[in-house]
Structure 1
Amino acid sequence: MEKKDALEAFAALSQPTRLDVIRLLIKVGDAGMMAGEISAQLDVRQNTMSANLSILARAGLVRNERQGRGIRYFADMRGMGGLLSFLLEDCCGGNPEMCRPFLDDIACSCMGKAHGP
């Protein structure tokens, strides 16, 4: 992940509703949620939720699939894994081999739950 992408992801997560959305979508996992369900669950107006979901999608943290007239949203675990890896890529005081098992575990866990192409 590039620095500008990480900054966009952090900006997306720096708003309370968007942080609640991503945590909710991570919790529901592969089932994802319809946009209206997310709005109802978090008690946020649908037009406000739509804007928040768009910001999270542009940041690579959520993905969506059209289902009939609705849209189902999922946490994008590749994007989340990329953000975590970006944060930790230079860890361990210049001795990345010390952190490699931890980074590999994060990457494998996130990629195992990855969605989309």
Structure 2
Amino acid sequence: MKSSSAVDALASLAHENRLAIFRLLVQAGKAGLPAGAIAERLGIPNSSLSFHLAHLNRAGLVGQKRQGRSLIYTADYARMDALVGFLMENCCEAAACAPAADGDVSAPALRKGLTT
């Protein structure tokens, strides 16, 4: 991922509603959610929701597909993985990171999908 793409994605997530939308879509999984369900669950007016979804879509963080008369939105996991990978690039100067004092797993362990 290029720096400019990372900046676009992070800027898109740097808004409370857009972050909430993205997190909801991550929780929804590959099935995604129709716009109406997103608006209802988050209490965002449809006009504002359309603006935020378009912003996330332009940043490549969400995709949309038509299903009948509805638009179904999904999180783009590959794009988010690329963003996290970009942020964690060269973590700990390529040395193994120790778990945090509170028991959280280290960044390299997260990238490998490991938990403690």
- Give TM class, smaller chain: 0.7 to 0.9
1:70: which partner in 2?
Answer: 70
The Cα shift of 1:102 comes to 3.7
Structure 1 residue aligned with 2:48: 48
Tell me the SS of whatever aligns to 1:92.
Answer: helix
Instruction: Give the superposed CA RMSD.
Output: 1.8
Tell me the CA shift for residue 89 of structure 1.
Answer: 1.0
Question: How many equivalent pairs are there?
Answer: 104
User: Which residue does the alignment assign to 1:105?
Assistant: 112
Aligned to 2:61: 61
Partners of 1:12 and 1:48 lie apart in 2 by: 14
Partner of 2:79: 79
Amino acid at match of 2:75: A
How high is the TM-score relative to the length of structure 1? 0.81
The 4+ residue runs of structure 1 with deviation greater than 3 A are 97-104
What letter corresponds to residue 105 of structure 1 in structure 2?
K
* Identity between Structure 1 and Structure 2 (%): 40
Q: Which has the higher helix share?
A: 1
Per the alignment, residue 31 of structure 2 pairs with: 31
- Residue 88 of structure 2 corresponds to residue 88 of structure 1: yes
Structure with bigger gyration radius: 2
Deviation at 1:104, TM superposition (A): 5.2
Instruction: Name stretches of at least 5 consecutive residues in structure 2 with no aligned partner.
Output: 98-106
Unpaired segments ≥5 residues, structure 1: 107-117
- Describe the shift of the 1:101–1:14 C-alpha distance in structure 2 as closer, same or farther (beyond 3 A): closer
Q: Is the 8 Å Cα contact of residues 96 and 108 (structure 2) preserved in structure 1? A: yes
